[in-house]
Amino acid sequence: MKHPTDPRILARLRSIEGHVRGIAKMVEEDTYCIDVVHQIQAAERALERVKGMVLEGHLRSCATRVLSGKDAAERERVIGEIVDVIAVQGRG
């Protein structure tokens, strides 16, 4: 099930895209490695924030509808998805 596109998420992703292009340019220009690593870390943090926004949107829309519904199999599927996302986060 899809939810409406959040323009804030798209704006952040476009910003991250520009940031990653900047990192690629730094690598091309043989910028000091630690400076490149710091920029990569900043991009990772930005992606983490976007991931949180997407997950929050999912929990507030799709997951809420399914979890409050009567279809037990669908509830279990959605719970499994959420558990998998949390488990991957814990391993990261």
Q: How confident is the model at residue 3 (pLDDT cuts 50, 70, 90)?
A: low
Per-residue model confidence (pLDDT) at position 90 = 74
The C-alpha atoms of residue 65 and residue 87 are separated, in whole angstroms, by 23
Per-residue model confidence (pLDDT) at position 92 = 63
The C-alpha atoms of residue 42 and residue 26 are separated, in whole angstroms, by 14
* Alpha helix stretches (DSSP H) within 1-92: 7-28, 33-58, 64-67, 72-91
Could you name the CATH architecture of 7-91? Up-down Bundle (1.20)
Domain boundaries, the chain: 7-91
Between 42 and 86, where is the model more confident?
A: 42
pLDDT (tens digit, 9 = 90+) per residue, 21-50?
Answer: 999 999 999 999 999 999 999 999 999 999
Task: Please tell me what DSSP assigns to residue 30.
Answer: T
Cα dihedral 67, 69, 71, 73, rounded to 10, equals 0
Per-residue model confidence (pLDDT) at position 44 = 97
Give me the chain's average pLDDT, please: 92
